[in-house]
Amino acid sequence: MPGSSGHKDKAQAENMQKIDLTTLTLPQLAQLKQQLEQDLNLYQDSLQTLKIAQTKFQESAESAEKLETTQEGATILVPLTGSMYVPGKINKPQQPLIDIGTGYYAENTVEQAKSYFKRKVKFVTEQMEKVQMLGIEKSQVRDAVAEVMELKVQAQVAANPQQAPAVRT
């Protein structure tokens, strides 16, 4: 669906509102800045999760590469948990089973397995790039909000100089 992504981006842009930050009060700006910080934290968490998935798929692609030269009956260590293994023997190294999600496995050729994992790495990388772009945009908005907040505070201090704290030199 090549055209659907552009349509979705356009629909998202139409739903976004432009707000003149200078019309907001300091408490509103503070709340907006806090929301932007939360969004940035969410994006950071998403990036970390995507990086883990990307690494997993890259390692799987590398393992598929190694299967090309593996002989049937070769001894390997089979992980039971992250830190517990049992010895095993490879049966049909040219037809690996691929975990395709939610408990389903597909038997493929080594070439199909490599292709599958490369596609997964590409997809996850694209998603990471999208999240990074969103993060950059949110960060720029957050910086603009902070700048407007600072200007409003300076304006309040200038309007009420007797309430400004004394500066010692």
Give 48-65 pLDDT, tens digit per residue.
Answer: 999 999 999 999 999 999
Confidence of residue 156 (pLDDT cuts 50, 70, 90): confident
What is residue 160's predicted lDDT score, i.e. its pLDDT? Answer: 82
Confidence of residue 15 (pLDDT cuts 50, 70, 90): low
pTM listed for this prediction: 0.75
More confident residue, 17 or 23: 23
**Residue among 118, 75, 105 at smallest CA distance from 93:** 75
- Write down the domain spans for the chain: 27-68+94-154
CATH number of 27-68+94-154: 1.10.287.370
DSSP labels, 46-115: HHHHHHHHHHHHHHHHHHHHHHTTPPTT-EEEEESSSS-EEEEE-S-TTS-EEEEETTEEEE--HHHHHH
The position carrying tokens 């407007």 is: 148
**Residue among 145, 115, 121, 142 at smallest CA distance from 52:** 121
